[in-house]
């Protein structure tokens, strides 16, 4: 992983989601009416979140789970309902505050600790499972693979993360987006081929830890296209 490019992109993501997109993200992740395009994104994210939950144990009581890039906290709360003790971290203080407000005093079997910061912070400790839903899609493939490898090294069980699959539509949108002017647009999504990210993860293995890509599943819903990949330590 190129630390410099990771830090540069991390700064852009933080600035965009904490200021430019905070209100739009608040609306998208609520029950408020949205336009047709955003409705497809909302539906796709709902389906992807359900897939995450299907791939994790139904009983997470006593398990420590990292929600890496928690956004407004929907997945973190579902994990806490299963009894998990969730550390939910995001770069955006605004979105983290919103997630905390939405969680309220829910009387959950588990717990959620909302934090602002970098998902790769080693002080977060070790976890039984790590989830990263659409929080790595803005990073280059090399930085994405490096981040996943770093997280797996602190994971006892599975790591689930999504990437933007390299499809003709996403590649075209990526190319067009790079040509558009304006400083307020979203950091570009970085499409990556499944074989590329799989091979990068495999090559990130070391003598002390091997990474094994396992299940994968793609969700396509209008303008939302995302692919889930499970990675296991060996």
pLDDT for 180 equals 45
61-to-20, 86, 131, 161 alpha-carbon distances in Å: 37, 11, 16, 22
Q: How far apart are CA 113 and CA 10, in angstroms?
A: 22
Burial of 66 (0-12, 13-18, 19+ CB in 10 A): buried
Q: Which residue has the tokens 């002017």?
A: 181
| pTM of structure | 0.92
Q: Would you mind telling me the total number of residues written for the chain in this entry?
A: 234
**Domain tally for the chain?**
1
| CA nearest neighbour of 119 among 49, 45, 66 | 66
- For 36-52, give the DSSP string: HHHHHHHHHHHHHHHHH
pLDDT in tens, the chain (234 residues): 779 999 999 999 999 999 999 999 999 999 999 999 999 999 999 999 999 999 999 999 999 999 999 999 999 999 999 999 999 999 999 999 999 999 886 678 889 999 999 999 999 999 999 999 999 999 999 999 999 999 999 999 999 999 999 987 666 655 555 554 454 557 889 999 999 999 999 887 665 678 889 999 999 999 999 999 999 987
pLDDT for 183 equals 47
Identify any residues that bridge with 37 across adjacent strands, giving them in sequence order: none
For residue 49, the enclosing domain spans: 3-233
- CATH code where residue 100 lies: 3.40.50.150
pLDDT for 130 equals 98
């Amino acid at each position: 992983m190129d630390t410099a490019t990771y830090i540069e992109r991390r700064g852009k993501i933080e600035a965009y989601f904490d200021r430019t997109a905070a209100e739009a993200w608040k609306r998208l992740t609520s029950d408020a009416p949205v336009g047709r395009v955003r409705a497809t994104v909302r539906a796709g994210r709902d389906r992807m979140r359900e897939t995450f939950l299907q791939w994790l144990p139904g009983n997470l009581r006593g398990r420590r789970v990292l929600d890496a890039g928690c956004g407004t906290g929907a997945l973190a709360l579902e994990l806490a309902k299963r009894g998990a003790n969730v550390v939910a971290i995001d770069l955006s203080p605004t979105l983290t505050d919103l997630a905390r407000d939405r969680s309220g005093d829910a009387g959950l079997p588990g717990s959620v600790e909302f934090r602002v910061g970098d998902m790769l912070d080693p002080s977060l400790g070790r976890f039984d499972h790590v989830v990263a839903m659409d929080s790595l899609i803005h990073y280059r493939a090399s930085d994405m693979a490096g981040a996943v490898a770093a997280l797996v090294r602190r994971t006892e069980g599975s790591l689930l993360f999504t990437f933007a699959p390299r499809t003709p539509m996403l590649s075209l949108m990526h190319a067009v987006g790079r040509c558009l002017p304006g400083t307020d647009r979203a950091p570009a999504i970085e499409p990556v081929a499944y074989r590329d990210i799989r091979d990068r993860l495999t090559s990130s293995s070391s003598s002390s830890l091997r990474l094994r890509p396992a299940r994968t599943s793609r969700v396509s819903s209008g303008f939302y296209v995302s692919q889930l990949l499970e990675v296991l330590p060996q």
